[in-house]
C-alpha cells in the first residue's frame, strides 16, 4: 500500500477571558501580517488542556488565569495551506497581570476589547475561531472541566509498545 502521509492536525488550546465586559486578545505577527487572536497555542506533551490554556495566556498576554469551563472543541482547516487545527477553548478567570513580563516573540501586545470592537475588527482575526469561541461563550456554552478526562499514565503497563503515531 502506498499512502501519502498528510500532516497531522495540530492540537491547540485557547482562553476566552472576560473582564468587565471586555475580552482579552493578543495582536500577533503572522505570515499574513498582524492578526488578533485569543491567547492560544499548541498543547505541550504531558500537559492537560486547562494547564496549556493557562500557560499560553501567561506567555502571550502576561495574565495568570484560571480555566473554569470548556467552551468548545473546534476543528478548522486553514483555506490557504490546508493545515488542520483542533482547538479546545476554555473560559478562564483573570487572576493576576504581570505588566513587565516579556511576551512571546510573535506577540505585539495584549488588549481588552468589547464584543462590538471585536466584531468591527473581524478582518484582523487570525481565524474564524476567534469570534466563534466568543459567540459560544456569550451564548452560555459551558462544560465542566471534567468533561475531558485525563488518562495519561494509566494502564501503561498493558501497552508497553504504544506508538503515538498509531490508533489505539
Strands (E), 20-163: 22-30, 33-37, 40-42, 63-77, 84-97, 107-114
Tell whether 160 is covered by a domain.
no
Domain harbouring 19, CATH code:
3.90.79.10
Tell whether 136 is covered by a domain.
yes
For residue 114, give its domain range: 10-96+104-146
Report whether pLDDT(161) > 60.
Answer: no
Threshold 0.85, pTM exceeds: yes
Domain count, the chain: 1
**Span 86-127, pLDDT tens digits:** 999 999 999 999 999 999 999 999 999 999 999 999 999 999
Amino acid at each position: 500500500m502506498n499512502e501519502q502521509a498528510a500532516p497531522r492536525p495540530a492540537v491547540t488550546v485557547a482562553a476566552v477571558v472576560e473582564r468587565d465586559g471586555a475580552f482579552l486578545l493578543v495582536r500577533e505577527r503572522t505570515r499574513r501580517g498582524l492578526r488578533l487572536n485569543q491567547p492560544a497555542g499548541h498543547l505541550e506533551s504531558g500537559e492537560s488542556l486547562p494547564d496549556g490554556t493557562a500557560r499560553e495566556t501567561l506567555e502571550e498576554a502576561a495574565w495568570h488565569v484560571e480555566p473554569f469551563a470548556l467552551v468548545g472543541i473546534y476543528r478548522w482547516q486553514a483555506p490557504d495551506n490546508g493545515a488542520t487545527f483542533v482547538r479546545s477553548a476554555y473560559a478562564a478567570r483573570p487572576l493576576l497581570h504581570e505588566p513587565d513580563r516579556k511576551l512571546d516573540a510573535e506577540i505585539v501586545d495584549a488588549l481588552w476589547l468589547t464584543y462590538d470592537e471585536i466584531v468591527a475588527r473581524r478582518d484582523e482575526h487570525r481565524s474564524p475561531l476567534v469570534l466563534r469561541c466568543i459567540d459560544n461563550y456569550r451564548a452560555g456554552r459551558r462544560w465542566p472541566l471534567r468533561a475531558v478526562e485525563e488518562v495519561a499514565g494509566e494502564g501503561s503497563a498493558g501497552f508497553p509498545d504504544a506508538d503515538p503515531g498509531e490508533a489505539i
